[in-house]
Structures are given as structure tokens and as C-alpha cells.
Structure 1
Amino acid sequence: MKLRDFAHSRTGDKGNTLNVSVICYDEQDYAHLLLHVTEERVKAHLGDVVQGDVTRYELPLIGAMNFVLRDALGGGVTRSLAIDAHGKSVSSALLDMKVPARG
């Protein structure tokens, strides 16, 4: 399965830092996603897009996680030569991450 089968996402940017939220469709999937959508897996999945650290913040009351991706926008929105300088497509790329079915 893919992460998009369990959750949707939103993004925001500030300078060269990108926030990517992962919001569960069903709160019963939250604990499962905490096990499988880790900082390490997110960084590995996004590859060279994220040059810095990845930090996960857990928001259990709303069944969500927020990932802060540092050095992820090619120097920042006003400096980047990337087609998607704001990083909006990163949320779609993250939702392609493989996640095992909930047992």
C-alpha cells in the first residue's frame, strides 16, 4: 500500500525549510503510521530533495504528523532554480511512500 491510502498531506515553506503534514483519514491508522512513517524513512524516501535534517512532530489529537525538512528548497523560494520552489510536489512524492497494510 501507499501512504496516500491512509492519509492526505499539506505543505508550507519558510526560507529553505519545508513543512509537510501527514493527516490520517481514519484515526485508527495513526498508531500504524507512527511505526512506519519515521524521520529516517521520510528522508530516505525523498532522497536528494532533503539535504538537511528531518524532524517529526506528532499530533495525536488530530491524527497527524508534521515533518520539518531542513535544506529542502534549494536555498529557499526566492533563491531556488527549482520548478517547484515552494516544494508543494514534495507532499505528493511523500504520499507515494510504501507502507504495509494494517494488520
Structure 2
Amino acid sequence: MNVLLWDVAHARAGDKGDMSILMLRPYVASDFGALREAVTADRVARHFGVPPDAVSVIPIAGLRALTVVVRGGLDGGVTRSPRIDPHGKTLSGHLLDLRVPWG
């Protein structure tokens, strides 16, 4: 079965320079293992349209959350980007539109 991440998790976004730093946490703590298996750097890279080496997915077991880092996706960062959303806050919503295998 495939699900959209927004069905099983919530996300927050931050930025540092030209990196978008996204936190992904399941609604149900016991789903952390399934989330960890489903959210891979390759899947996220394809979804964001960036090279696979531009994405890191880091499990934070104590918080039962994933930190997803997407490098080079903010068009230079907050002070240089001509984008409407230079902080990349909407990227957390975009991440939640990712369809992943589940269960």
C-alpha cells in the first residue's frame, strides 16, 4: 500500500543558507520505524527534483523523527533568492505530498 506522507506524519521547515532543513515526525510514535524505511534520500531527491547526493535523511531515534536536509534548493538562500518563499517554509508541505510505500 502507498500513502501520502501527510496521511501519516507532519513536517516543519527551517533553513540555513542554501539548505532546507525539514523535520518529519509520524502522528503515531510507533510508526517511526515505517517512516524511517519509507523516506529515503533517493525518493526525496526525485520528489524535489535534485540530485540524490543533495539529500540526507537522518533518523533522530530519541525524538522519533527524521531530519531531511535538501541542499541547493533555495536558489542561494534567503538574502539572495528571487523566490517568493526564500525561506523554503512551503517545502515541508511539498515533502508531505510525497507518496511512499507503507505497511
What TM-score results when the alignment is normalised by the length of structure 2?
0.90
C-alpha distance in 2, partners of 1:19/1:36? 18
> CA offset at residue 53 of structure 1?
1.1
Paired amino acid for 1:55: S
Paired amino acid for 2:81: S
Task: Give the match for residue 18 of structure 1.
Answer: 20
Preserved contact between residue 55 and residue 70 of structure 2 (Cα < 8 Å):
yes
The number of aligned residues is 101
Residue segments in structure 1 that go unaligned for 5+ positions in a row: none
C-alpha distance in 1, partners of 2:8/2:79? 33
Q: Any residues of structure 2 matched to 1:7-46 within 5 Å, and which?
A: 7-46=9-48
Q: Which runs of 4+ in 1 moved over 3 A?
A: none
> CA offset at residue 86 of structure 1?
0.5
Tell me the C-alpha RMSD between the 2 structures.
1.7
Preserved contact between residue 74 and residue 80 of structure 1 (Cα < 8 Å):
yes
Task: Give the match for residue 91 of structure 2.
Answer: 90
Paired amino acid for 2:56: T
C-alpha distance in 2, partners of 1:84/1:37? 24
Preserved contact between residue 51 and residue 72 of structure 1 (Cα < 8 Å):
no
* Sequence identity percentage: 40
Alignment deviations for residues 35-72 of structure 1 (CA, whole Å, 9 cap, x no partner): 11001101111115x79611111111221000111111
> CA offset at residue 100 of structure 1?
2.9
